[in-house]
A and B are shown apart, each in its own frame.
Chain A
Amino acid sequence: MRSILHVSLSKTFRPNPGNKLEFSLCFLFFFQDSDIQKKIDYEIRMREGACKLLAACSQRDQALEASKSLLTCNARIMAYMSELQRMKEAQVMQRVARRSSDAGPMDDRSPCKGKVAISDLRIPLMWKDTEYFKNKGELHRCAVFCLLQLGGEIFDTDMVMVDRTLTDICFDNTIVFNEAGPGFELRVELYSCCSEEDYSAGSTPRKLASKLSSSLGRSAGKKMRAALEPGACSPTSNGGGATILLPVPSAPGPKYHLLAHTTLNVSHVQDSFRTHDLTITGNEECSYWLPLYGGVCCRLAAQPHCMTEQMMSGCLRVKLGGEPQGWTNVYGVLKGTNLFCYHQKEDKEANVEPVLTIGINKETRIRAAEKDPHSKAQNICITNQYGGEEVTHTLAADSREERQRWMEAFWQQFYDMSQWRQCCDNLMKIELPSPRKPAIVTPKQGSLYHEMGECVQTPFYTFTEAVAEFEALDQGCPTLLLAIDCPANVSPCFRQAWSPDASSSSGRFRPRTLSLDAKLSTLRGRGYSGFRCNCQPPTASSVSPRPAQTALSCSSSTSSSSSSEGSNSQESDLGFSRPSGARRSLRNLRAKLDPRNWLQSQV
Chain B
Amino acid sequence: MSFIPGQPVSTVVQRIEIHKLRDGDNVILGFSIGGGIDQDPSQNPFSEDKTDKGIYVTRVSKGGPAEVAGLRMGDRIMQVNGWDMTMVTHDQARKKLTKKNEDVVRLLVTRKTLEDAVRQSMMQH
Contacts and interface: CB of A to CB of B under 8 A. Distances in A.
Interface of A: 132-133, 135, 449, 453, 456-457, 460, 498, 552-553, 555-557, 561-562, 564, 566-567, 569, 572-576, 578, 592, 595-603
A574 B23 contact: yes
14 contacts: A460-B59, A552-B59, A556-B45, A557-B43, A561-B32, A567-B63, A572-B63, A574-B64, A575-B26, A576-B28, A578-B26, A598-B34, A601-B90, A603-B33
A600 B42 contact: no
B39 A599 contact: yes
A576 B24 CA distance: 11
A574 B31 CA distance: 12
Contact of B29 (A135, A456, A595, A603): A603
Name the 6 nearest CB pairs between A and B, nearest first.
A553-B59, A598-B43, A569-B62, A567-B61, A600-B34, A603-B97
Contacts of B58: 460, 553, 555, 600
Taking each of A553, A557, A603, which has the highest tally of chain B beta carbons within 10 Å of its own beta carbon? A603
A449 B94 CA distance: 24
Nearest to B23: A575
Residue with the highest number of chain A CB atoms closer than 10 Å, among B23, B41, B62:
B62
Interface residues of B, number: 32
Given A595-B40, A598-B43, A601-B94, A574 B32 contact: no
A308 to B, nearest CB: 51
A465 B97 CA distance: 25
Interface in B2-33: 21, 23, 26, 28-33
B45 A456 contact: yes
Contacts of A592: 90-91
Contacts of A572: 63
Nearest to A549: B61
A574 B27 CA distance: 10
A459 B53 CA distance: 21
A433 to B, nearest CB: 37
A135 B41 CA distance: 10
A174 B59 CA distance: 46
A599 B29 contact: no
Most buried by B among A561, A562, A595, A598: A598
Contacts of B33: 600-601, 603
B44 interface: yes
B36 interface: yes
Given A135-B50, A457-B45, A567 B30 contact: yes
Nearest to A453: B43
B31 A603 contact: yes
B40 A574 contact: no
A557 B61 CA distance: 21
Contacts of B86: none
Given A133-B40, A598-B35, A603-B33, 19 more contacts: A132-B40, A133-B42, A553-B59, A555-B58, A556-B43, A567-B28, A567-B61, A572-B63, A573-B23, A575-B23, A598-B34, A598-B43, A599-B34, A599-B90, A600-B33, A601-B32, A601-B34, A602-B28, A603-B31
A597 B62 CA distance: 25
A597 B35 CA distance: 10
Contacts of A567: 28, 30, 61-64
Of the candidates B33, B50, B97, the one having the most CB atoms from chain A within 10 angstroms of its own CB is B33
Q: Which of B31, B43, B44, B45 has the most CB of A within 10 A?
A: B43
B111 to A, nearest CB: 16
